[in-house]
A and B are shown apart, each in its own frame.
Chain A
Amino acid sequence: MTAATEPRVISIKWRLLGLLLVPLTVLLGLGLFIDYRTGVASIGGVYDRALGETALAIAAHLRDANGDGHIDFDLPPQAIAALRTRGSDTVAYAVRRIDGVLVDGDADLGFVLPASEQAQLFDAKLRGKPVRVAVHAAQVDRTPLVVAVAVSTHQRDSALRRILASIVLTDLIQLIGTLALVWIGVRHGLRPLRNLGEQIAQRSARDLAPLQDTAIPAEVRPLVHTLNALFDTVRGAARAQQQFTADAAHQLRTPLSGIIAQLEVLEREPVSAELRARLLALHGGCVRLAHTAHQLLTLARSEPSAITHEDYARVDLEQLVTEAVSHSLDRALDAGLDFGAECAPAQVLGNPWLLRELLGNLVDNALAYTPRGGRVTLRCGDDGCAGWLEVEDDGAGIAVDLRAQVRERFVRLPGSPGNGCGLGLAIVDEIARAHEAEFSLDSGSNGRGTRARVRFRHASAEPVSLPTAKPQ
């Protein structure tokens, strides 16, 4: 469900956020730009009107006092000084005839002929500094004049900056607020999906119980229903396979059992040595056949398709080991082996019957491959994070390059003793895999013999409501 598992697939959350956030950000940015432009225009208008009025005021004070075409500026020096400053801005002015001759004011303020009766406004530079200029055409006693006023832009610029700052601030708050709401909404809206994802992620691959379909959004309900139908089918198939192997076991074992028992009875009767030898060979063959049939059925039952969590229970490994030792003790004594166990309390979750087969196969191998006088030890314990089972012998061991091979089906190492059919470690491997356990084959302590180890998943990671396997 998460993007982490499949890096190329973007999660719905990020997709939704992407689809919402990008256009929202563009829209809000556009709003900010428009607000700014509007602010600039209105502030500029206010300053321009004031500038135009200054130009008109200067024009109003121009007189041709003598009527000789000589224009005078009839403001007292204090008034002119007041005119020249406006707050922190300095004001320059120039009154010229239309031929450009300066009548009054600052000579370095350039001459521009206004295009119309209206005041003409533009940005320019005066003495290296930016100024706003208003040029106004005036008629003083029939003499056409041009009044230019330039004001530095400090105040206007700082007003613009203040406006800009407040616009950006409010728009940014709006932007962030909107994004936060989108984020929260998307997260909240996707919560049922996330819950479903977690419900699926927490399950073991062997768990075929139906998913809860309450509180599931309508969009994914078909998916949940299809999954549940699939689980149901798989469960049914597993049950059918279990039923088949159980029936097959019954049909195979009953006649085999009769033949073997008859042979055993025959062997006890007084017969010739030659016939006894043939009976014993026949008996051996039947036992081997029965063993192979049992191993094949066990393998069929340990295949993933035959296993569901419904058969799982808490299994006490100490008890499992005790039973295995008790079961095989006579065989070990006959083989002249030191057979024992070292157990620490440990519980795992699993199929009790299959785990017994797993341990039984490991013990069978150890007993078969350890020469007389050797030592076979079963161990179990919990390393704080998972339960484990171990069977160690000091026999011939398995060469490192053969350890992977012996797990395969029907593989027997050359010179193997006993009635084996080469399925034992394949069964162990299959059952371990079915329990999501690690099965490893190593050398025993001191580098001799074989140490087969099965390390389980932690039992507490599973639901705790499972029944405990009944003791014998």
Chain B
Amino acid sequence: MRILVVEDDALVADAIRRGLESAGHAVDRVDCAEHARTALAAENFDLAIIDIGLPCSNGLSLLRSLRQDGLAVPVLILTARDGLADRVNALDLGADDYMVKPFAMPELVARCRALIRRSRSAASALLTIGALALDLGAHRVEVDGSVVELTRREWAVLECLALNVGRVVAKPKLLQAIVNWDAEIGANAIEVYVSRLRSKLGASVPIRTVRGIGYRLDDGSH
């Protein structure tokens, strides 16, 4: 995949480039917003990693102008500031993810992978997580290449977990995903559907129970 890194700090930029390249990505690096705009307009990137603290122009205003120009490229914001306002601003302005420096390189690589996967699946409606493959358009599920039949509600729960892969999904959110079909669902219904999903999908699709909160479909890394 092709990734644009917009980062003025040479040390950081070089490390990101090396880290992503060793994970199999092609990386271009620019050090200011103006060059970033030019690069993104001229060529297709699968992902842009933008540092908020750019010297000439703020990374957030770059993000705003990209979105105003209708560029849908996934954006991961990097920042050395930890205030909540920046984070909220970034997500409001259309950033797809947000990381605070210093970050762990494996996490950065994992998040890039997740972002690219998500944007791919949005385009192709195909989502692959380890042994699990979802066709979001056709509501088709495959595990290790063999088709698994799911009911509509089981599908809804799995889809919600898969779209948030690697993140804990609270039970109320899962409940919202299935409540559209039937308002008469009790709070413990989720447990029933998750247990059915586990037996249908098998151990190669790890749906983890997070005590007192909900579930998490583990990413390949865990």
Question: Given contacts A255-B11, A338-B211, A470-B88, are A249 and B80 in contact (CB under 8 A)?
Answer: yes
User: Which residues from chain B contact A340 at a C-beta distance below 8 Å?
Assistant: 210-213
Q: Does A339 contact B (CB under 8 A)?
A: yes
Question: Given contacts A250-B81, A353-B83, are A264 and B167 in contact (CB under 8 A)?
Answer: no
Q: Does A5 contact B (CB under 8 A)?
A: no
Q: Which of B101, B102, B212, B216 contacts A343 (CB 8 A)?
A: B212
Determine the distance from Cα of A343 to Cα of B91 in the docked complex, in whole angstroms: 26
Q: Does B200 contact A (CB under 8 A)?
A: no
CB distance from A7 to the nearest CB of B (A): 44
Whether the pair B15, A258 counts as a contact (CB closer than 8 A) is: yes
Q: Does A398 contact B (CB under 8 A)?
A: no
Whether the pair B101, A257 counts as a contact (CB closer than 8 A) is: yes
Q: Does B170 contact A (CB under 8 A)?
A: yes
Q: Nearest CB to that of B18 among chain A residues? A: A265
Contacting A at CB under 8 A, from B6-30, are 9-12, 14-16, 18-19, 22
CB distance from A326 to the nearest CB of B (A): 4
Determine the distance from Cα of A9 to Cα of B95 in the docked complex, in whole angstroms: 59
Whether the pair A256, B102 counts as a contact (CB closer than 8 A) is: yes
Whether the pair A261, B53 counts as a contact (CB closer than 8 A) is: no
CB distance from A13 to the nearest CB of B (A): 46
User: Which residues from chain B contact A257 at a C-beta distance below 8 Å?
Assistant: 9, 12, 80, 101-103
Whether the pair A260, B102 counts as a contact (CB closer than 8 A) is: yes
Determine the distance from Cα of A261 to Cα of B12 in the docked complex, in whole angstroms: 7
Whether the pair A469, B84 counts as a contact (CB closer than 8 A) is: yes
Q: Does A290 contact B (CB under 8 A)?
A: yes
User: Which residues from chain A contact B210 at a C-beta distance below 8 Å?
Assistant: 325-326, 329, 339-341
Q: Does B202 contact A (CB under 8 A)?
A: no
Q: Please report the total number of B residues contacting A with Cβ < 8 Å.
A: 38
CB distance from A376 to the nearest CB of B (A): 10
CB distance from A259 to the nearest CB of B (A): 7
Whether the pair A341, B213 counts as a contact (CB closer than 8 A) is: yes
Whether the pair A343, B213 counts as a contact (CB closer than 8 A) is: yes
Question: Given contacts A338-B211, A343-B213, are A352 and B84 in contact (CB under 8 A)?
Answer: yes
User: Which residues from chain A contact B108 at a C-beta distance below 8 Å?
Assistant: 261
Chain B window 195-217, contacts with chain A (Cβ cutoff 8 Å), 1 for yes, 0 for no: 00000000000000011111010
Interface bin, chain A? 35 or more
User: Which residues from chain A contact B22 at a C-beta distance below 8 Å?
Assistant: 265, 268
Q: Does B56 contact A (CB under 8 A)?
A: no
Chain B window 57-99, contacts with chain A (Cβ cutoff 8 Å), 1 for yes, 0 for no: 0000000000000000000000011111001100110000000
User: Which residues from chain B contact A333 at a C-beta distance below 8 Å?
Assistant: 222
Q: Does A330 contact B (CB under 8 A)?
A: yes
User: Which residues from chain B contact A258 at a C-beta distance below 8 Å?
Assistant: 9-12, 14-15
Q: Which of A246, A287, A352, A356 contacts B81 (CB 8 A)?
A: A246
Q: Does B183 contact A (CB under 8 A)?
A: no
Q: Does B106 contact A (CB under 8 A)?
A: yes
Q: Does A233 contact B (CB under 8 A)?
A: no
Q: Does A465 contact B (CB under 8 A)?
A: no
User: Which residues from chain A contact B15 at a C-beta distance below 8 Å?
Assistant: 258, 261-262, 264-265
Question: Given contacts A264-B19, A326-B167, are A341 and B212 in contact (CB under 8 A)?
Answer: yes
Contacting A at CB under 8 A, from B89-122, are 91-92, 100-106, 108
Chain A window 343-355, contacts with chain B (Cβ cutoff 8 Å), 1 for yes, 0 for no: 1000000001100
Q: Does B160 contact A (CB under 8 A)?
A: no
Q: Does A272 contact B (CB under 8 A)?
A: no
Q: Does A342 contact B (CB under 8 A)?
A: yes
Q: Does A472 contact B (CB under 8 A)?
A: yes
Q: Does A254 contact B (CB under 8 A)?
A: yes
Q: Does B143 contact A (CB under 8 A)?
A: no
User: Which residues from chain B contact A262 at a C-beta distance below 8 Å?
Assistant: 11, 14-15, 18
Determine the distance from Cα of A157 to Cα of B218 in the docked complex, in whole angstroms: 108
Given contact pairs A297-B82, A322-B213, a sample of 13 additional A-B residue pairs in the complex whose CB atoms are under 8 Å apart: A249-B81, A250-B81, A251-B80, A257-B103, A259-B11, A260-B102, A260-B105, A262-B15, A264-B19, A265-B22, A265-B105, A353-B82, A469-B84
Can you show 15 pairs from A to B with CB atoms below 8 A apart? Answer: A249-B81, A255-B9, A257-B12, A257-B101, A258-B9, A260-B105, A261-B16, A262-B14, A264-B104, A286-B102, A297-B82, A325-B210, A329-B216, A378-B212, A470-B92
